[in-house]
Structure 1
């Protein structure tokens, strides 16, 4: 506005002469300026009114031809999408619905529609249906993948568990102790055999019987022979052979014998000689009576200890030789009275226990140790292998063979009874 005023003022000043510049009719100039100002204000006001009216004006309802074209365009869009997702009948119904929406738009029921497809009801329905279908299909795919992954994990777990089991078995096999043994027969021949720590003496006995081509009989036994100590022991059937052989020293001269020994089964062939008291031993027993006696003994007490007591020779620690004492067999060990005149139970002294000790037959003691008879036995720890360890061995001697067998059978039963009790 200020620019227009300056231009108008300059124009009128140029028309007036310099001499008459002060005499110009100021009223005319001011009138022109006021007219120009009024025209300028009207122009600015008209521009503002047109701008506000354009903001307040709602969207036109449109020409019927234009709306119909848009409805047809939306219908074509919905049909093209539905050709991939839905059946022909579903697309036809949706198309009819789109036409109704277009007709309602023509009637102009007061609902304003914009050009954005996001606000179109038909388009929004299509999008929502497609989204739900996509979500459902995604859920099905996720479930299938989850089942597949679970099956793969289960299969992998089973394979891993099987590998672990095989590895443990191989480790057990690798850690099993095995020994290569030689067993001597009565004629001096030997048979070699590979045994492991799980094999019992009964099983090894059967293997040796097969190797020697002999009929397997309960009298066949594996015997441990200790030449340095002049003694031997018949292995029990339930013992583990390798466990006993591992106690031998490296430079040991010990041998394994495969022989028939009747003393191994004497308890079962003549139980009346070992399970009855001294007064009842003279009774005649047949096979049926023996079977009943064995059944009563083992069923009533499990594996008990028979009543065995009497005189035995005990080798003294010094060079005094052998001395007679009265001995009593109990489950916990072998006891005796050091003094012959005193025989009360509180005066009993334990000679040896059966927790770790074993009983051995003496071989050639009459010559080696000057024993009073040839019916000798010893009680010692299996690890005592050298002659220098004789001071820890208990040497005993009986009057006859029958007395020796009663003590041997009684000690073997006490040993088994103590093992079972433990």
Structure 2
């Protein structure tokens, strides 16, 4: 998956309901681009270069997996949706909303026909520097090698700014997992559990535990000869999962808020019931419960359900050679095994979410919808 980039965006409005325009822009940036990490105070400033009403200005920190050009394109779309039409050669003019990228990533310098980063005029404008100083005072300008606080101190701009008491609402703060210490994301092969666990870890400061299945030498052999390698594969998975989850859960990370994993150890029992014959499964189950009783259980168990057609599409798309001939029947047995198991669980919260018609990796609206489903569990504590 793409690594997120930190952007610093300047917002301004001096036409219509200025504060509401800023709030709508903040909401749209969150909905379309990524997590809004922090927002500065809002300041009033006089219009520069033309006669008009005073501006309201602020800055925000955005974390997004989009490229700088993609962010710019989205910002222009947001401006247009709020009634701003940029006119080439029009000069200074009143506007419902003005959105500019000030910084894009650490030490990033960009110069294209449509985008210049850092913003070429930022160091001359108090209405950018003052709100930016609220949230990024130590960030250094990669060309001037001076931090924002120093640029503000050295500014020759005589424009006076005054902060207002009203604060913009950060929509990112509506989403949190403060009720949980450990969340397990589960699902069938190709359901998107690793993608979702990774996205949650990035957005909500969680320690990420990913199953190390790619290192298992028996997995490709199993798909070639199921009967011969089933017991060997399941035993190796059980040992690996037990060792990994025991190690990772015992290692505290004081800088993370909770733990999110893309598997739960109980999947070993679900898969083994499908792949092993009765005698092998009975032996396996005895060994499993001897180990399982000592492992911490997740506070929230999320099962991503996808229908078989979508699973096959995802499997084909990610292109692992040894997965390309997985039969529909095998995937359906896995789904049935999980659902039967989850119906009997009383020890932890279970949330089953049907994402068959959602693409939460490519479509941020689907991702936010999924988070809202999880927030319902976080709010009530049960499913």
Shared fold per TM-score greater than 0.5: no
TM-score category (smaller protein): under 0.3
Query: If you compute each CA radius of gyration, which structure gives the higher value, 1 or 2?
Result: 1
TM-score normalised by structure 1 residue count: 0.18
Larger helix proportion of the pair = 1
Quick one: higher RCO (CA 8 Å, sep 6+), 1 or 2?
2
User: What TM-score, normalized to structure 2?
Assistant: 0.19
